[in-house]
Structure 1
Amino acid sequence: MAKKITEEDFKDINMDDYVKNYSEDSLWDKVRNNVSSIGISLIYKAFQLYYVAQSDTCPTKVKAGIIAALGYLISPIDLIPDLIPVVGYSDDAAAIAFAIAAAQAYITPEIKRQAKNRMREIFGDKMVDGLDED
Protein backbone atom coordinates (compact mmCIF):
# COMPACT_ATOMS: atom_id res chain seq x y z
CA MET A 1 0.00 0.00 0.00
CA ALA A 2 1.29 3.47 -0.89
CA LYS A 3 2.34 5.82 1.89
CA LYS A 4 -0.09 8.63 2.60
CA ILE A 5 1.46 11.96 1.68
CA THR A 6 1.36 14.58 4.42
CA GLU A 7 2.38 18.20 4.78
CA GLU A 8 5.58 16.96 6.44
CA ASP A 9 6.64 15.41 3.11
CA PHE A 10 6.76 18.90 1.59
CA LYS A 11 8.86 20.53 4.35
CA ASP A 12 12.17 20.23 2.48
CA ILE A 13 10.72 21.36 -0.84
CA ASN A 14 11.23 24.99 -1.82
CA MET A 15 7.76 25.89 -3.05
CA ASP A 16 9.15 29.14 -4.49
CA ASP A 17 10.67 26.99 -7.23
CA TYR A 18 7.17 25.90 -8.22
CA VAL A 19 5.83 29.46 -8.25
CA LYS A 20 8.24 30.03 -11.16
CA ASN A 21 6.54 27.18 -13.08
CA TYR A 22 3.14 28.81 -12.87
CA SER A 23 1.41 30.57 -15.73
CA GLU A 24 -2.19 30.45 -16.89
CA ASP A 25 -1.19 28.95 -20.23
CA SER A 26 0.87 26.25 -18.52
CA LEU A 27 -2.06 25.38 -16.26
CA TRP A 28 -4.52 25.10 -19.16
CA ASP A 29 -2.04 23.06 -21.22
CA LYS A 30 -1.28 20.70 -18.32
CA VAL A 31 -4.92 19.88 -17.65
CA ARG A 32 -5.89 19.61 -21.33
CA ASN A 33 -3.07 17.21 -22.08
CA ASN A 34 -3.26 15.14 -18.90
CA VAL A 35 -6.93 14.97 -17.90
CA SER A 36 -7.02 11.18 -17.73
CA SER A 37 -3.92 11.06 -15.51
CA ILE A 38 -4.80 13.99 -13.27
CA GLY A 39 -8.50 13.22 -12.95
CA ILE A 40 -11.48 15.50 -13.35
CA SER A 41 -12.02 15.97 -9.61
CA LEU A 42 -8.46 17.21 -9.02
CA ILE A 43 -8.73 19.51 -12.02
CA TYR A 44 -11.97 20.94 -10.59
CA LYS A 45 -10.19 21.70 -7.31
CA ALA A 46 -7.26 23.27 -9.19
CA PHE A 47 -9.67 25.47 -11.14
CA GLN A 48 -11.37 26.54 -7.92
CA LEU A 49 -7.95 27.58 -6.63
CA TYR A 50 -7.24 29.43 -9.87
CA TYR A 51 -10.42 31.49 -9.52
CA VAL A 52 -9.91 32.10 -5.79
CA ALA A 53 -6.47 33.52 -6.62
CA GLN A 54 -8.16 35.95 -9.06
CA SER A 55 -10.51 37.16 -6.32
CA ASP A 56 -9.95 40.50 -4.62
CA THR A 57 -11.15 39.03 -1.32
CA CYS A 58 -8.38 36.42 -1.16
CA PRO A 59 -5.39 37.51 0.98
CA THR A 60 -1.97 37.70 -0.65
CA LYS A 61 -0.55 34.96 1.60
CA VAL A 62 -3.30 32.54 0.52
CA LYS A 63 -2.80 33.53 -3.13
CA ALA A 64 0.92 32.77 -2.82
CA GLY A 65 0.13 29.29 -1.50
CA ILE A 66 -2.34 28.72 -4.32
CA ILE A 67 0.16 29.79 -6.99
CA ALA A 68 2.80 27.49 -5.46
CA ALA A 69 0.35 24.55 -5.45
CA LEU A 70 -0.71 25.19 -9.05
CA GLY A 71 2.95 25.51 -10.07
CA TYR A 72 3.60 22.20 -8.33
CA LEU A 73 0.76 20.61 -10.33
CA ILE A 74 2.21 22.01 -13.56
CA SER A 75 5.75 20.78 -12.88
CA PRO A 76 6.49 17.21 -14.02
CA ILE A 77 9.44 17.05 -11.62
CA ASP A 78 8.35 16.92 -8.00
CA LEU A 79 8.18 14.62 -4.97
CA ILE A 80 6.64 11.82 -7.07
CA PRO A 81 7.27 12.39 -10.80
CA ASP A 82 4.02 12.75 -12.75
CA LEU A 83 5.10 10.14 -15.29
CA ILE A 84 4.87 7.31 -12.74
CA PRO A 85 1.60 5.49 -13.49
CA VAL A 86 -1.17 5.51 -10.86
CA VAL A 87 0.74 7.40 -8.14
CA GLY A 88 2.35 10.17 -10.20
CA TYR A 89 -0.22 12.79 -9.27
CA SER A 90 -0.78 11.76 -5.64
CA ASP A 91 1.69 14.35 -4.35
CA ASP A 92 0.11 16.97 -6.61
CA ALA A 93 -3.29 16.06 -5.12
CA ALA A 94 -1.84 16.57 -1.64
CA ALA A 95 -0.42 19.99 -2.58
CA ILE A 96 -3.80 21.01 -4.03
CA ALA A 97 -5.59 19.69 -0.91
CA PHE A 98 -3.35 21.77 1.38
CA ALA A 99 -4.05 24.87 -0.73
CA ILE A 100 -7.81 24.12 -0.76
CA ALA A 101 -7.74 23.89 3.04
CA ALA A 102 -6.02 27.29 3.27
CA ALA A 103 -8.40 28.86 0.74
CA GLN A 104 -11.64 27.20 1.89
CA ALA A 105 -13.11 30.39 3.36
CA TYR A 106 -12.77 32.09 -0.03
CA ILE A 107 -14.27 29.33 -2.19
CA THR A 108 -17.74 30.73 -2.79
CA PRO A 109 -20.56 29.29 -4.91
CA GLU A 110 -19.52 31.82 -7.57
CA ILE A 111 -15.93 30.50 -7.56
CA LYS A 112 -17.27 26.94 -7.99
CA ARG A 113 -19.52 28.10 -10.85
CA GLN A 114 -16.59 29.78 -12.61
CA ALA A 115 -14.47 26.64 -12.21
CA LYS A 116 -17.21 24.43 -13.65
CA ASN A 117 -17.86 26.81 -16.54
CA ARG A 118 -14.17 26.80 -17.47
CA MET A 119 -14.14 23.01 -17.30
CA ARG A 120 -17.16 22.88 -19.62
CA GLU A 121 -15.31 25.11 -22.09
CA ILE A 122 -12.31 22.79 -22.10
CA PHE A 123 -13.84 19.33 -21.61
CA GLY A 124 -17.55 19.66 -22.43
CA ASP A 125 -20.64 19.06 -20.30
CA LYS A 126 -20.30 15.30 -20.03
CA MET A 127 -16.96 15.45 -18.16
CA VAL A 128 -18.33 18.00 -15.71
CA ASP A 129 -21.59 16.21 -14.88
CA GLY A 130 -21.67 14.91 -11.34
CA LEU A 131 -19.09 17.26 -9.85
CA ASP A 132 -20.06 18.47 -6.40
CA GLU A 133 -21.59 21.93 -6.37
CA ASP A 134 -22.25 22.40 -2.67
Structure 2
Amino acid sequence: MDKKTIDKILKPESEETQKSRAAKVRATFWKTVRKAAGHIPFMEDVVASYYCAFDPQTPTRVRGILLAALAYFVMPFDLIPDMLAVIGFTDDIAVLTIAISAVRAHITDAHYQAARKILEKNPIETPKK
Protein backbone atom coordinates (compact mmCIF):
# COMPACT_ATOMS: atom_id res chain seq x y z
CA MET A 1 0.00 0.00 0.00
CA ASP A 2 1.49 3.33 -1.01
CA LYS A 3 1.68 6.52 1.02
CA LYS A 4 -0.81 8.35 -1.20
CA THR A 5 -3.48 5.71 -0.55
CA ILE A 6 -2.82 5.70 3.19
CA ASP A 7 -2.92 9.51 3.30
CA LYS A 8 -6.29 9.43 1.51
CA ILE A 9 -7.67 6.89 4.01
CA LEU A 10 -6.44 8.83 7.04
CA LYS A 11 -7.57 12.25 5.84
CA PRO A 12 -9.84 13.76 8.50
CA GLU A 13 -13.26 14.40 6.98
CA SER A 14 -16.32 16.42 7.83
CA GLU A 15 -17.98 16.20 11.23
CA GLU A 16 -20.80 14.18 9.65
CA THR A 17 -18.34 11.66 8.18
CA GLN A 18 -16.56 11.40 11.52
CA LYS A 19 -19.87 10.67 13.26
CA SER A 20 -20.60 7.97 10.71
CA ARG A 21 -17.14 6.47 11.19
CA ALA A 22 -17.54 6.59 14.96
CA ALA A 23 -20.84 4.69 14.73
CA LYS A 24 -19.26 2.01 12.50
CA VAL A 25 -16.29 1.65 14.81
CA ARG A 26 -18.45 1.41 17.94
CA ALA A 27 -20.68 -1.22 16.32
CA THR A 28 -17.99 -3.60 15.08
CA PHE A 29 -14.69 -2.82 16.79
CA TRP A 30 -14.64 -5.63 19.38
CA LYS A 31 -15.79 -8.27 16.89
CA THR A 32 -13.00 -7.21 14.53
CA VAL A 33 -10.44 -7.21 17.36
CA ARG A 34 -11.31 -10.83 18.15
CA LYS A 35 -11.08 -11.77 14.47
CA ALA A 36 -7.74 -9.97 14.05
CA ALA A 37 -6.19 -11.51 17.18
CA GLY A 38 -2.93 -13.18 16.33
CA HIS A 39 -2.57 -11.19 13.11
CA ILE A 40 -1.89 -7.75 14.56
CA PRO A 41 1.09 -7.82 16.92
CA PHE A 42 0.31 -4.43 18.50
CA MET A 43 -3.28 -5.00 19.57
CA GLU A 44 -2.79 -3.08 22.82
CA ASP A 45 -1.94 0.00 20.75
CA VAL A 46 -5.03 -0.55 18.60
CA VAL A 47 -7.31 -0.83 21.64
CA ALA A 48 -5.66 2.20 23.28
CA SER A 49 -6.27 4.08 20.02
CA TYR A 50 -9.94 3.16 20.25
CA TYR A 51 -10.13 4.67 23.75
CA CYS A 52 -8.23 7.75 22.57
CA ALA A 53 -10.57 8.22 19.59
CA PHE A 54 -13.60 8.30 21.89
CA ASP A 55 -12.00 10.42 24.61
CA PRO A 56 -13.58 13.91 24.59
CA GLN A 57 -10.20 15.33 25.68
CA THR A 58 -8.58 14.15 22.43
CA PRO A 59 -8.14 16.94 19.85
CA THR A 60 -10.59 16.80 16.94
CA ARG A 61 -7.83 16.29 14.32
CA VAL A 62 -6.39 13.35 16.25
CA ARG A 63 -9.85 11.82 16.70
CA GLY A 64 -10.41 12.18 12.96
CA ILE A 65 -7.19 10.35 12.09
CA LEU A 66 -7.88 7.56 14.57
CA LEU A 67 -11.51 7.16 13.54
CA ALA A 68 -10.45 6.94 9.89
CA ALA A 69 -7.88 4.24 10.68
CA LEU A 70 -10.23 2.32 12.99
CA ALA A 71 -13.08 2.54 10.46
CA TYR A 72 -10.77 1.08 7.83
CA PHE A 73 -9.79 -1.65 10.30
CA VAL A 74 -13.41 -2.68 10.95
CA MET A 75 -14.48 -2.67 7.31
CA PRO A 76 -14.65 -6.29 6.12
CA PHE A 77 -13.96 -5.33 2.50
CA ASP A 78 -11.02 -3.04 2.03
CA LEU A 79 -8.02 -3.12 -0.31
CA ILE A 80 -7.11 -6.61 0.89
CA PRO A 81 -10.23 -8.33 2.29
CA ASP A 82 -9.76 -9.44 5.90
CA MET A 83 -11.23 -12.82 5.04
CA LEU A 84 -7.97 -13.75 3.32
CA ALA A 85 -6.38 -15.32 6.40
CA VAL A 86 -2.90 -13.99 7.15
CA ILE A 87 -2.55 -11.42 4.36
CA GLY A 88 -6.01 -9.97 4.91
CA PHE A 89 -4.85 -7.74 7.74
CA THR A 90 -1.63 -6.46 6.13
CA ASP A 91 -3.26 -3.32 4.76
CA ASP A 92 -5.00 -2.73 8.10
CA ILE A 93 -1.63 -3.05 9.85
CA ALA A 94 -0.11 -0.45 7.52
CA VAL A 95 -2.93 2.05 8.05
CA LEU A 96 -3.05 1.51 11.82
CA THR A 97 0.74 1.74 12.18
CA ILE A 98 0.91 5.07 10.37
CA ALA A 99 -2.11 6.52 12.20
CA ILE A 100 -0.88 5.46 15.64
CA SER A 101 2.63 6.74 14.88
CA ALA A 102 1.22 10.10 13.76
CA VAL A 103 -0.79 10.67 16.93
CA ARG A 104 1.11 8.62 19.52
CA ALA A 105 1.69 11.66 21.74
CA HIS A 106 -2.10 11.89 22.27
CA ILE A 107 -2.56 8.26 23.30
CA THR A 108 -2.19 8.62 27.04
CA ASP A 109 -1.29 6.26 29.84
CA ALA A 110 -4.99 6.23 30.76
CA HIS A 111 -5.86 4.94 27.28
CA TYR A 112 -3.21 2.21 27.61
CA GLN A 113 -4.41 1.30 31.10
CA ALA A 114 -7.98 0.94 29.80
CA ALA A 115 -6.69 -1.21 26.92
CA ARG A 116 -4.68 -3.47 29.23
CA LYS A 117 -7.61 -3.78 31.62
CA ILE A 118 -10.06 -4.86 28.91
CA LEU A 119 -7.55 -7.18 27.25
CA GLU A 120 -6.75 -8.84 30.58
CA LYS A 121 -10.43 -9.10 31.52
CA ASN A 122 -11.44 -10.46 28.10
CA PRO A 123 -8.41 -12.24 26.69
CA ILE A 124 -8.48 -12.41 22.94
CA GLU A 125 -8.13 -15.91 21.62
CA THR A 126 -5.61 -16.35 18.87
CA PRO A 127 -6.71 -18.33 15.85
CA LYS A 128 -5.79 -21.98 15.62
CA LYS A 129 -3.27 -22.77 12.91
Compute the TM-score of the two structures, normalised by the length of structure 2: 0.75
* Equivalent of 2:3 in 3, 7, 12: 7
For these two proteins, the number of residue pairs brought into alignment is: 120
Do the aligned partners of 1:32 and 1:122 also contact (CA within 8 Å) in 2? no
Do the aligned partners of 1:82 and 1:88 also contact (CA within 8 Å) in 2? yes
**Match in the other structure for 1:130:** none
Structure 1 segments unaligned to the other structure (5+ residues)? 128-134
Question: Using the alignment, how far apart are the partners of 1:45 and 1:32 within structure 2?
Answer: 15
**Match in the other structure for 1:95:** 95
Question: Using the alignment, how far apart are the partners of 2:66 and 2:23 within structure 1?
Answer: 13
**Match in the other structure for 2:25:** 23
Q: RMSD value over aligned CA atoms?
A: 2.8
| 1:76 equivalent in alignment to 2:94 | no
Question: Using the alignment, how far apart are the partners of 2:54 and 2:33 within structure 1?
Answer: 19
Cα distance 1:101–1:35, how it changes in 2: closer, same or farther (>3 A)? Answer: same
Secondary structure, aligned partner of 1:82? coil
Q: Which amino acid aligns with 1:66?
A: L
Where do residues 62-73 of structure 1 align in structure 2 (5 Å cutoff)? 62-73=62-73
Instruction: Give 4+ residue runs of structure 1 displaced > 6 Å after superposition.
Output: 14-18
**Match in the other structure for 1:43:** 43
Cα distance 1:113–1:11, how it changes in 2: closer, same or farther (>3 A)? Answer: closer
| 1:54 equivalent in alignment to 2:50 | no
Do the aligned partners of 1:21 and 1:74 also contact (CA within 8 Å) in 2? no
Q: Percent identity?
A: 27
Q: Which of structures 1 and 2 has the larger relative contact order (alpha carbons within 8 angstroms, sep 6+)?
A: 2
Secondary structure, aligned partner of 1:115? helix
